[in-house]
Amino acid sequence: MNGRFSIVMHIMTLLCKEERLLSSDYMASSINVNPVLVRKELSNLIKSQLIQSREGKNGGYQLAKPSSEITLAGIYEAVKPSAILGQAKNQPNPKCPVGRQIMEHLNQLNNDVDQLLLQKLGDNTLQQFTNKFD
């Protein structure tokens, strides 16, 4: 899995904990990444209706709904990779007994793992996660 989920969880935890409009620069400073990367993820979170933005001098970002209504699964869905276990770029040899079946079995495994992860993340809210912080 890539690092997008970690970045987005950091963003969402900041927005939950701070309970005020936050700038992308502030969040990037906390995460210690380029603000452009943060703004890209903020855009995805807006599309997923998890956060909202307010423009202007006193603008920034905030949660779109109470943190108790946002599941970690919902956050994951906003950034999840197409294949959680990774995906090969090559096409296996269809003449090989393994090669002709490998993608079907790997895709099923990938789907199974993704469903287990969504189930686990769905049992936890952003508020529960944020409560772990001082």
**Contact status, residue 106 vs residue 85, Cβ threshold 8 Å:** yes
pTM for this prediction: 0.84
pLDDT for res 1: 52
21-31 average pLDDT score? 96
120-130 average pLDDT score? 95
In this predicted structure, the answer to whether residue 121 has a pLDDT above a threshold of 80 is yes
Q: Domains along the chain?
A: 4-130 (1.10.10.10)
The model's pLDDT over 45-63, given as tens digits with 9 standing for 90+, comes to 999 999 999 998 889 999 9
19-24 average pLDDT score? 92
- Helical residues (DSSP H) of 1-134, grouped into ranges: 4-18, 24-31, 35-47, 72-79, 102-122, 126-130
d(CA 26, CA 35): 9
The model's confidence at residue 110, banded by pLDDT at 50, 70 and 90, is confident
